[in-house]
Amino acid sequence: MVKHGMTPAAAIHSATVNAADLLGLKDQVGTIEPGKSADLIAVAGDPLGDVTVLKKVGFVMKEGRVFNHDL
């Protein structure tokens, strides 16, 4: 999305908040809020400044459970 002109913030919003809304899941996922599933990734760096840091994920958290892996 960034490659085609979106800002990193807009691309991340589209891939998370908007996607959850379109799938009818906005009450469960899409944002980090109390009561929602704790699904997130950790990266080394600021994806709002450099979206390419999303290519190297440090860990994944799915429903509060951490999964580590080497990429």
44 band by pLDDT with thresholds 50, 70 and 90: very high
What average pLDDT does the chain have? 93
| 43 within 8 A of 54, measured Cβ to Cβ | yes
List the domain boundaries for the chain.
2-68
pTM for this structure? Answer: 0.83
Tokens of 68: 């580590």
pLDDT recorded at residue 68: 87
